[in-house]
Amino acid sequence: MATTRVFLEVRRRLQSALLILGEPKEAGLPMDISVMPSSLQVKTSEGCTEIGLPAEVRLIPSSCGGLQYVPGDGLHLRLQAQAGFSTKLISVFNQSSQAQDCYTFYCQSCGEVIIRDRKLLRVLPLPSDNWGTLVGEWCCHPDPFANKPLHPQENDCFTGDSFYLVNLRSDLLQPRLELAPVKPKTNTKVICKRCKVMLGETMSSETIKFYMTEIVIQPSERNFSIIPRSQFVQSIIAQCLVELSSARSTFRFSIQGHDSKVYILLWLLNSDSLVIESLGSSKNIKKFSLLEDISKADSISALNAVKVLYQPCIKSRNKELASSWESDISVHSLTLPSATCLEVLLILSRNNATLPPSLRYMNSFQVAFLKM
């Protein structure tokens, strides 16, 4: 039976929605479209597609307007909507946690325990990368912090933009980790013994950096459960973008690997989207073996998401643009393991391919949603 592809993007702050109804592959037009406050229904001669909206979302049928047919997409329709979804992001170390909670660090890819029952007395955010320069501007005397890197003590965890810094105690020096020097005078890579994934780097003889995309930290009393890799990675990236844009009014980002190569240029458009899809045509979209099948064919998904523009920079693509962004102080760099940068690019490409064709590009940039 032919099914209709339905795409709905709800903007919470604007209280508006864009509805796109794709043509059924076989039946074509005409279609009987019913827009109700809590559901959508599309009938053709070959079948019926119905989407029940989440309880927090309400459409206003009387506000429907801007109806137009876009070749390759189908029917576009704009209307008012009310969405009560909260976009508040909860940190690993939320406010309900006690100061002396014990935490266990896991490899996100395979679930191997990396640090067990580490009592954290202090969890503190690190200043921005250019904090040293700012201190120099504000101090009328020599910088008291010069050549004094911030290293955590035994029961500390410092959080950066995309990483955690923890003390390299003796409980790390066990078969769970491998320390692999890359080049002389460079940091040593920290690798999971079981799955061989790079988890971070040693910053000194006492400090280790774990990348947020590679490590899961949770209270020791909880049971660990594997989160699909692509779902976890894009939620971490989305959280980083939202937090940095809110704290520093930064909306352009350069995603670079630990090898200092730029892999992706990202431009955050908005962080208040709720994307609802009936992916009847998802079976025709090429799947990448590296990625899990996040949304199964003929399924309906409703997900909070951030909307981004992106440009890949691998194989010398967009070299001039990457160079201009690198010299722009309004662009913020996020460093991840190089393999994870490629994963992020695949996730963006896959998410871009699931969008209706007219939404996949904005000027020279590609468009994608990162699910939170």
Domain ranges across the chain: 6-83, 102-219, 229-274+282-371
What pLDDT is attached to residue 306?
96
Closest-CA residue to 198 (of 343, 12, 64): 343
- pLDDT-wise least confident of 4-13, 145-154, 172-181: 172-181
Give residues with Cβ within 8 angstroms of 275, minimum separation 6.
7, 8, 9, 10, 301, 302, 303, 305, 369, 371
What does the pLDDT look like over 197-244, one tens digit per residue? 999 999 888 899 999 999 999 999 888 888 999 999 999 999 999 999
Distance CA(342)–CA(264), nearest Å, equals 9
Strands (E), 196-325: 198-202, 207-211, 215-219, 252-257, 262-278, 300-312
Q: How many angstroms separate the CA atoms of 165 and 212, rounded?
A: 10
CATH of 6-83, one of 2.40.50, 2.60.40, 2.30.180, 3.60.15: 2.60.40
- Give the range among 48-57, 157-166, 215-224 with minimum mean pLDDT: 48-57
Helix, coil or strand: residue 154: coil
Q: Which residue has the higher pLDDT, 72 or 353?
A: 353
Which residue in the block uniquely carries the two structure tokens 């949770």? Answer: 218
The pLDDT assigned to 95 comes to 40
111 sits in the region (left: phi over 0; alpha: psi -120 to 50; else beta) called left
pLDDT tens per residue across span 60-100: 999 999 889 898 888 899 999 988 755 555 555 554 444 55
Q: Which secondary-structure segment (H or E) carries 245?
A: helix 229-248
pLDDT attached to residue 328: 93
Note the pTM of the prediction, 2 decimals. 0.86
Phi, psi for residue 173 in degrees, rounded to 5: -85, 70
Query: What is the structure's pLDDT at 43?
Result: 82
Which residue carries 């079976």 as its tokens? 283
367: β partners: 309
